[in-house]
Structure 1
């Protein structure tokens, strides 16, 4: 188990907050929140004040990954738009405060839907949840990056090809065993990269349990979380990622990662695609490529989590299922590709 005081020491953090957000004699309380298995998220409370703190995970980190200041910059750029993102509060680049760079953002109260759907969200509400997921993603993808100071966040040209190359390199860092399906899918992806694609701010990890919904009905998506992988690139990669995490009735869940979208009321993937196309005007092409790319990347990412678990640097027994879940993901990605 992660000891919050070890990874977010309250004494230096309190001094930092007193300097930048006003002094207070009230003690800090730090509590780990969420089930995020990459960057770590904590709720920091001081009297009636409360913030969310984000910091990198413990253990070995891939090059350029877990850049807290970049994530803070993305939230700052989106703060003046209709994009549903938490409001950033304060960033710290000095690793001497808590040991790593970190930032604070506002607390967004609500519910995060994981394996179970809250009881107040019945069949009709589940349909609205699907619509809200698409609408919030379309709002992000139709923001002009340069208008919010994010025109240099990444290079959209060649984004998808670089994703294949980058995650191939990540596999070399993260792999704990040989998985031939990873290599077969890599070769298929490299040979089938779409030649023409739109460009937008992409989230990189857009799925049902990375957003906050209000607890009341009808459901309203309040905030998109976990912006660590945001960049400029192909928005259909985000859509493919969402579709990958959207199994329909009668379909299996992706190994070890149950999703509730098989329940009655959740719209089929075809309805999500149609609504997204209407909201953005983007042509819906090569979606099987993007869905396969998403699952292949997820297999590599979760292999990295499994590596940290084996090294004793990950919190929770959940990670043990990745011994079999990662090979299952790789096998399904190969099946989807037809390679």
Structure 2
């Protein structure tokens, strides 16, 4: 599949950014010419760029996609708030540097953070980039330890308590993603609708959960890790909210998989190669570190698959509309097929659970 930058879009114009940095962010040294700006590969929603300053220092910038932005889905101030709140906790995040709400600077709100060195293991082949043995085992266990550390943070103590919403988290999530799937350009939503009905029914029977920070997309593809397998930073906070911590665990395990699973993982990760802990080990580790009951995990795995289909519907719409900074030769057909396949796997998971 070929990809190229659209010649009609400049998501981060270097000179206006440089002028803003010079005026507002003195810790980023700029010279007479503009800073260097380059897209960091990966990511299907908010866009990430590497900024190189006048002394060769590196920073990272996050901004929304360039069009077809779904309501509430690409709030830069929300991402900024979460990484700022977590900066002094045991949860590793990139150091927050500055936030810009003025859309006239680069055409959208954005924020700048420190650049964290590390491998981002976002697909199956990437697992080979960690040495066999202890680093691979460490990556799996440390991923779960960081997740448990995130869920141990008291939202009130870090200034996020006002983000609590009335009603149940799962009820809100099921309503939100169902609505956004129907706002997408996917032509057939019947499977998503059937799975939605069954998830609503089963969610109503679950015991109430405690309210914690839920990342929303917690998996190795959103982590920077060192050569020892330790997590150096958690990225991509665009879906973060206060809610059910087991939704994060279900999302992680749906992408990691378990040894007896009949269904394919939602997003292949580094453990597609050998030497990584099993999904069962990760679940047991989380239960031990968090003290939470994980007996309803099968529901959260089905919910993760359904939610993944709804998110993919929005991603498909943005790619089909040509607003992701690249164009694709297949016209999005493979992405549309992926939406349907993931929705079908959610129904299958509900049948199995």
Instruction: Give the TM-score category using the shorter length.
Output: over 0.9
Alpha-carbon distance in structure 1 between the residues aligned to 2:129 and 2:315: 32
- 1:59 equivalent to 2:92? Answer no
Partner of 2:5: 2
Report the counterpart of residue 322 of structure 2 in structure 1: 312
Residue number in structure 1 paired with 2:120? 112
178-187 or 151-160: bigger deviation: 151-160
Q: CA deviation at 1:277?
A: 0.9
Q: Tell me which residue corresponds to 2:215.
A: 203
Structure 1 position 32, deviation (Å): 0.1
Cα distance, 1:225 vs structure 2: 0.6
**TM-score, normalising length: structure 1:** 0.93
Distance 2:104 2:153 in 1: 36
Query: Which residue is equivalent to 2:47?
Result: 40
Q: Kindly state the Cα deviation for residue 3 of structure 1 after the two structures are TM-superposed.
A: 5.5
Partner secondary structure for residue 208 of structure 2: coil
Q: Which has the higher contact order (CA 8 A, sep 6+)?
A: 2
Q: Deviations over 1:147-179 (max 9, x none)?
A: 111111232751111111111111110142113
Taking the aligned partners of 2:71 and 2:192, their CA distance within structure 1 comes to 21
Is residue 133 from structure 1 mapped to residue 143 from structure 2 by the alignment? yes
Sort the Cα spacing of 1:15 and 1:119 in 2 relative to 1 into closer, same or farther, 3 A. closer
Give the RMSD, CA atoms, in angstroms: 2.0
Deviation at 1:119, TM superposition (A): 4.2
1:50 and 1:88 mapped to 2: Cα distance? 13
Q: Structure 1, residues 116-155: CA drift from partner, whole Å, max 9, x if none?
A: 2244421443221110110010110000111111111232
Q: State the partner residue of 1:31.
A: 38
1-side partners of 2:102 and 2:108: how far apart?
7
User: Runs of 4 or more off by more than 6 Å in structure 1?
Assistant: none
Q: Distance in 2 between matches of 1:189 and 1:67?
A: 27
1:238 aligned residue (237, 248, 265): 248
Counterpart contact for 2:39–2:50, Cα < 8 Å? yes
**1:329 aligned to 2:339?**
no
**Change in 2 beyond 3 A, CA 1:34/1:152:** farther
Q: Tell me, in whole angstroms, the C-alpha distance in 2 between the residues paired with 1:120 and 1:333.
A: 31
> What is aligned with 1:85?
93
Q: Which residue of 1 aligns with 2:230?
A: 220
Residues 119 and 44 (structure 1 numbering): CA distance in 2 closer, same or farther, change over 3 Å? closer
Are 1:163 and 2:176 matched, yes or no? no
* Residue 295 (structure 1) aligned to one of 305, 317, 321: 305
Change (3 A) 1:87 1:3: farther
Equivalences, count: 336
Partner of residue 21 from structure 2, selected from 17, 21, 28: 17
CA distance in 2, matches of 1:156, 1:132: 33
Contact (CA 8 Å) 2:60, 2:114: kept in 1 or not?
A: yes
In 2: Cα distance, 1:14 partner to 1:206 partner: 32
Q: Tell me the secondary structure at the aligned position of residue 280 of structure 2.
A: helix
Deviation at residue 308 of structure 1 after TM alignment: 1.5
Unaligned runs of 5+ in 1: none
Measured in 2, the distance between the counterparts of 1:287 and 1:258 equals 19
Give the secondary-structure state (helix, strand or coil) at the position aligned to 1:54: strand
